[in-house]
Structures are given as C-alpha cells and as structure tokens.
Amino acid sequence: MVAPLAIAGISAAGSLFSGITGGKGAKKAANIAAQSAAQDRALAQQIYNKNYSLAAPTVDRGNAAGAQINALLGLGGDTAVANDALANWKLSTGYQTRLNEGYDAINSGYAARGALESGAAQKALLKYGQAQASNEFSNYLGQLSNQQGAGLNALGSVTGSGIAYVNQATNANQGAANAAANAALYGAQARQNAMGSAINALGNAFGQSSYSQKVPDALGGGTFAPGGSLYDPYGMLKNFGGKNPFG
C-alpha cells in the first residue's frame, strides 16, 4: 500500500506551505504596522513643526520683554538699551505732550494767583512731573509684562504640542514593535506547527503502509513481522499460527 504515503506527502507539503504562508502573512502585517507607525510619526512631527513655527515669534517677543523688564529693574541686561526703548515708547504715546499740557495748567493756575514763581508752584510742578513719570513707567512695565505673559502662553502651547508629539510617536513605535514581535512569534509558531503536522502525517502514513504489515512466514507456519523476535522468553521458537513450524 503506497497510496497512504502519497497522501501523507501531499498533506505534509500542504502543512509546510500553510506554515510558510502564515509566516509571510504575519511578516506582511508587521510591515503594514511599521508603515502606519511611520505615517503617524510623520503626521505628529508635521503638526508639531507647524505649531512651533506659529508660536515661536510670540515666544521670542516674550523673552525680549522679560529681558527689558530685568534691565529696567536693575536685574541684569542692557540698561541703556532698555531706557532707550522706554523713551521711544513715551514718544509713541504722546507722553511729552501730555506732560507739557499738565505743566501749562499748573503754571496758569499759579500765575492767575500771582504766585507763578513761588515755592508752592515749583513743588506742584515737580510733584506732577514725578507722578506722571511714575505712572508712565508703570504702564510701560505693564505692557512688557503682558508681552512676556503672551510669550509664556505660547511657550506652554509649544510644550504641550511637544508632549503630544512624544506621546503619539511613542505609541506609534510601541504599536509597530508589538506588531513585529507578534508577527515573529506567530511566524515561528506557524512554522513549528507546520513541521509538526508534516511529521505526524508522514509518521501515520508509514504506520499504515506495506512496510509495517505482517507478511507470510517463509517457513509456512504463520506470519512473520520484520523486527519481531522468533524466540519466546524461554529461548524456544515462537508458535506461528498456533503451531510449531518445525513440528
């Protein structure tokens, strides 16, 4: 009976093909997961770069405002540059014009009373000028603080975008790694199962083939199985078919 061997060969080949195909399918799935992860990382990088480019100018202005505040308060930086910036800001707001109008109002009041050159008039002018300068300085610091705060908010947005990018990239990498690991395990298991199935199929076929069947005994007393012993445990010839072939 050779047919079982042929069938077993076909079955074994099919098992091996199935295992190879399963391993290739798992590898293909891992490649798809890796490509998807790469696309996710690229998209996250693109979004982060866009957010950074939008926020960077505001962050830079906030840093510049902070440097000006430090210089005006004597905490470091270029004080001369900071004072020049303050002077330019005053010009842009019409500070000097408003100051002069205030002086004119005080002088007119004291002149009407005939006390334009009095000490009281001089004190009033000095007090008014100092108050105006102090208010204008506070206003300028407030504007710088607002600019600094805007920069900090923009920096927070960029930082948040960076954290989101790291999380998304990490998740994408982990997903690709898991897919690759699972594919490797699945492929190895599929090949192992295929080899086991092929070996079992061939083993079963050999067990049912003519090579393992009993054949007529050459001595005519029964049947003879290759590999079997002709002697019983007592050293006597075994009986074949219920009788001794020699007797």
Residue whose entry in the numeric block shows the structure tokens 């009407």: 112
Signed CA dihedral, 14, 19, 25, 28: sign only: negative
What is the distance between the alpha carbons of residues 228 and 239, in angstroms, rounded to a whole number? 13
pLDDT value at residue 242: 46
- Mean confidence (pLDDT) of the chain: 73
Of the chain, the percentage scoring pLDDT greater than 70 comes to 60
Residue whose entry in the numeric block shows the structure tokens 């001595």: 219
Are 210 and 2 contacting, i.e. CB atoms less than 8 angstroms apart? yes
Residue 146 scores a pLDDT above 50:
yes
The pair of three-digit structure tokens given for residue 10, joined into one six-digit string: 């076909």
Q: Is the pTM here over 0.95, yes or no?
A: no
Residue that wins the pLDDT comparison between 10 and 173: 173
Q: Report which of 198, 196, 197, 193 is spatially closest to residue 22, judged by C-alpha positions.
A: 193
Burial class (CB in 10 A: 0-12, 13-18, 19+), 142: exposed
Are 150 and 160 contacting, i.e. CB atoms less than 8 angstroms apart? no
What is the distance between the alpha carbons of residues 21 and 44, in angstroms, rounded to a whole number? 35
Tens of pLDDT along 78-106? 999 999 999 999 988 889 999 999 999 99
- Asked which of 81-90, 102-111, 182-191 is least confident by mean pLDDT, the reply is 182-191
pLDDT value at residue 212: 46
Residue that wins the pLDDT comparison between 96 and 199: 96
Could you tell me the pLDDT band of residue 1, with boundaries at 50, 70 and 90? Answer: very low
Are 137 and 130 contacting, i.e. CB atoms less than 8 angstroms apart? no
pLDDT value at residue 217: 45
pLDDT value at residue 118: 86
Tens of pLDDT along 204-220? 555 554 444 444 444 44
